[in-house]
Structure 1
Amino acid sequence: MAKILMKGNEAIGEAAIRAGCLNYFAYPITPQSEVAEYLVRRMPEVGGVFLQGESEVAVGYMLFGAAGAGARVFTTSSSPGISLMSEAISYIAGAQCPAVFVNIMRGGPGLGGILPSQGDYFQATKGIGHGDCRLLVMAPASVQEAVEMVMMAFPLAEKYRNPVMILGDGLIGQMMEPVEFPDHLKTEPSNKDAWASNGMDHRGSKTRNLVKSLFLDPVQLNDNNLALKAKYERMRAEDVRSAAYNIDGDYPVLLVSYGTMSRVCRTAIDMLKDEGIEVGMIRPQTLFPFPEKAVADAAAKPSCRHVLSIEMSMGQMVEDVDRCIRGRVPVEWYGKCGGDIPTPEEIISVVKARIAGKE
């Protein structure tokens, strides 16, 4: 299969089409507006629907309605836009409907800036909506991986009847890389009659599908939350993903990093290796469920004396990393935010300082 040079945002839009999603509702916000610009042309070509809502709040409920009717549906946005969708995301999770959200993060808080950031980690993994709801969150480190994760997101959303989020940063959306769209990731919507409010005659059923997240009976609400909790535990058992780099030998320092920040870390590791210094890395590909065992096992090597969480934020993922280590070795954060991306040389300096026992 020939590769095509594409901008990340455009590749994300095309990936959704190739995955069989022909319903896209969105509102423009930098640095992901090119997804909408691409799909406003492509969706009519493939018989799909693109509708720009009057706000991100409206978009969230467009997604809820379409998902509840059994359609494959997705949106793309950036940081503040996702905040405005958070109420609808909680409704969709509570009603157990599938939908896909792509967040191409910008700097914050507030309006912040339009350059890359990873400052939405807490939002995506711990605070996406009110109540006891979680999303399955995937974090690509390249445009190709963004394509593959978008294509995987739709069957995963249907498997769990739950929202799935692709969490990228502005670099993922704006960079151009060669991509291909794997045929084996093309899927058909599965088992939508189990949740969709699409008519008893259509389903050949005598039972209504009532799409709702309102449970006034506390017993029913508790039961719904127990069902959701069981689903999240199943995600932890079946769909946690990570990639390891340079962990086969001994290393005094382990890095944990995700997204495009991990690519900078990989360069730093290669440069350190040229100096005779070994450093390992675990790259979470799912942020929820977090790859707890992979991080813990990599940090458990007798040679490992320090763990560094390298982020384009003021220190968010470091809390999950620390939870995995449970005090066995020191865990520290290093990073920057707002588009000021740590360089390989800065990471090397931090690593060497830890090896030398300096703060």
Structure 2
Amino acid sequence: MNCPIDEKIYQELRKVLNETEIFCCEKEYLKLYNLGYALLERVEKGAAYVNEHIEPPSTDEEFFLIMMYGAMLVDAAGLLLKELKIKSPYQKGEQISYCYFADVCENQNLQFNDGTIPTDKEVWEYIRALSFAHPFETSRPQFLEKGEIQYSPAIIANIKPEFLPVDAEPTIGILVYSTAFPEIKVLNIPYMRILGYISSRYQLLALGTERIKQIIAEKKQEWVKQKVEIGANAIDTLKSAISIMENRHEETTLGDLVLLLEVQSTFEENRLQIRAYQSKIESTIPQIVTFVESLDTDGLNNYLEQILQITKPKYGGADYQIQKIFSGLNQHANEREQKWGLKQADAFYKSCGYKWVKIDVSQMGNEEIKLLVRIACEQEAQNKK
């Protein structure tokens, strides 16, 4: 068996959980989100370990690790299906539940009083309990005799070939003491059956992934019905689009456009230039609405990046000035950053901006200063063509 644990299964689960912010932002799905990522961390390690140890273990310690990491994979799938209320196909009574250990049960007399044999899941739990000896006594399996208690003092991880039939599968031996019989029994479990069982239950993660995809698809069906309200002005329309994107838990820079449109000119000299720049923004509204209503978040963000892009002047220090202006003149900057941003805005004006606009940092608000810097950069770039 080559790589019994298909790592693409858990990678797809991680990808789907990352596809949208609804799982980490909506209370209804927060438990699923936290559980999913907790499981993924364990599953990633477990999958890597099992795939690196396909050959039968040579020591009992190696077998313990296989069982430990295998249990992580099996339990992870079970927990995810439980959280998503998905019924496992491996239900008792279904033939598919007897694929890995049925002949082991028949050959080694592991059965219920009515002669039926336990399911693969029940045998797995039995093997797990015996191999780890929780902590020493194991009496939970229901196919034991009433009142029977079993003990497992050791694992024979590498049964010598001379003790096995010709062409026999590599086998793990589990020593069993029992109150129901005087002799020591050796429970022989083919190693590849154990790996096969782990792999089969791990693959149930894919059912969880499909259910999560369904949740996302249902959300998108709701979102596509939402329409941007075309307001009396561009600002109202943008605010409607922002509300829709926030409802989808998507981050955009639509708010930056609103701030630019809200700027009023302090000086008459800048009024026409500001109005012309704002008109260009207003002309982008129909395309923005199309992106929002078609659920094209990537297209929207790329379009907004183009709109808000600044072509920096080509003189020494321009890049630094622009960077500090926009990082310092915003609500998240501290007082020191604010003062430095204003100083750099004044330096920009004296170096280049004076040719195109009038900036007085002592009389203007941050948003107007940044808008005028944008206009000056744009005018400078056009003049250089």
Query: Which TM-score bucket, shorter chain as reference?
Result: under 0.3
Q: Which has the higher helix share?
A: 2
Kindly indicate whether structure 1 or structure 2 has the higher relative contact order, using CA contacts under 8 Å at least 6 residues apart: 1
TM-score by length of 1: 0.24
TM-score (norm 2): 0.23
